[in-house]
Amino acid sequence: MECLKKSFETKQEAKERKEQIDKVNQLNKDNTRMRVYHCKKCGKYHLTSMSKKKFKSTQKITKEERDRRRISYLVNVESDYWLNKLGIE
């Protein structure tokens, strides 16, 4: 799967671009620092200004969403069991 973000084939390419951007930001008195990360979706490397901590916090799901997913999963498992048991397809 291809991401819409600018991607780099290697971590080294991404690091080089990160350094360039960080230098420009520093010259412009911008404290924003970039970070390289490996994308699970496309397998390439991207840059972000988001900290690891903030990124991880955006990945967390709420308790309600986790419970909703569990219930949905259990309902599907139960439904599949009875459909197979009764020979209904």
For 66-87, write each residue's pLDDT tens digit.
888 889 989 998 998 898 889 8
d(CA 59, CA 40): 13
- 34 lies in a domain? yes
Mean pLDDT of the chain: 87
The b/e string for 47-68 (b: 16+ C-beta within 10 A; e otherwise) is beeeeeeeeeeeeeeeeeeeee
Q: Which domain holds residue 26?
A: 1-49
d(CA 10, CA 23): 21
65 and 38 within one domain: no
Instruction: Please tell me the total count of domains within the chain.
Output: 2
pLDDT classification of 53: cutoffs 50, 70, 90: confident
Amino acid identity, residue 43? Answer: G
- 54 lies in a domain? no
66 and 44 within one domain: no
23 and 43 within one domain: yes
37 and 19 within one domain: yes
| pTM for this prediction | 0.56
Q: What burial class does residue 71 get, using C-beta atoms within 10 Å of its C-beta: 0-12 exposed, 13-18 middle, 19+ buried?
A: exposed
